Chain A
C-alpha cells in the first residue's frame, strides 16, 4: 500500500531568479540557527549559520535573515542555479545547559530550479 510520509513544502523557480525559503522555529530561547542543503543521495551540507544576536548574515549568493519577534528564519539564494536544487533544512540550537548544543531540524523544503 501507499506509505504516508512527511509532506515537504516545495518551491519551484526559474534559473536566475532569487529564491526565498522560510522556516518557523519553536524555541524562543534558541541562540543559534543553521541552514543545510541536502542533495539526493548525499548528507546534509552546511550552507550558512547565524547567532541570535544578529538579524542578518550574508555568504556567497546566500543570505540568512532572523526575525526573533515572530520566530522566523529565511534563506535567500540569489541568482538561483540548477545546482541549487535540493532539500533545504533549517535547524535551531537550544542553549540550555544540559542540551549540549543539540540541533532540532525542521522538516525541510524542496527547491526545484528549472533551466
Chain B
C-alpha cells in the first residue's frame, strides 16, 4: 500500500500567485481531509469530503481557498491569490468510513512558502 500521496512536497511561490496542492488518498478510502499545520495554530482541519462530496468546509480560511475532489482517487487544494500568511505545511488524510474505525491516515505533506 502506497499510503496517501501528496504533491508537490515543497512549493515556493511569490505572493499573488496561484498554488495548487494535490492529493491521492489510499485506494478504497471514501473520506478525505485537508489540514494545515503551523507553529502558531498547530494542526487545523480545512475541509472534509465524504464520497467525493464536500461535507464541512468551515475551516477554510477565506474565499482564496478552494478544494475539489473530482473522483475517489484525487483531490486538489487551491489558493488564489496566495499570501505570505498562507505559508504552512498542508496535509491530506484519508479514511475508510465504517462504524468500526475512525483512523485517519496522513500523507507526507506539502511545505508551502509564499514570499
Do the two shown chains form a genuine complex with each other?
Answer: yes
* Contacts from A to B (Cβ < 8 Å): 3-6, 32, 34, 36, 42-46, 49, 89, 93, 100-103, 105, 107-108
Cβ A34 vs Cβ B102 within 8 A:
yes
* Partner among A34, A44, A93 whose Cβ is within 8 Å of the Cβ of B91: A44
Most chain-B Cβ atoms within 10 A of its Cβ — which of A93, A101, A108? A101
Q: Mark B91-110, 1 if CB is under 8 A from A, else 0.
A: 10101010000111111110
A48 to chain B, nearest CB (A): 10
Cβ B109 vs Cβ A43 within 8 A:
yes
Q: How far is the CA of A45 from the CA of B50 in the complex (A)?
A: 21
Residues of B with C-beta under 8 A to A49: 102-103
Cβ A100 vs Cβ B40 within 8 A:
no
Residues of A with C-beta under 8 A to B50: 100
Cβ A46 vs Cβ B55 within 8 A:
no
Q: How far is the CA of A77 from the CA of B97 in the complex (A)?
A: 29
Cβ B106 vs Cβ A44 within 8 A:
yes
B2 within 8 Å of A by Cβ?
Answer: no
Cβ A5 vs Cβ B45 within 8 A:
no
Q: Mark B37-68, 1 if CB is under 8 A from A, else 0.
A: 01111110100101000011000000000000
A103 to chain B, nearest CB (A): 6
Most chain-B Cβ atoms within 10 A of its Cβ — which of A43, A89, A93, A107? A43
Cβ B42 vs Cβ A107 within 8 A:
yes
Cβ A4 vs Cβ B40 within 8 A:
yes
Residues of A with C-beta under 8 A to B107: 43
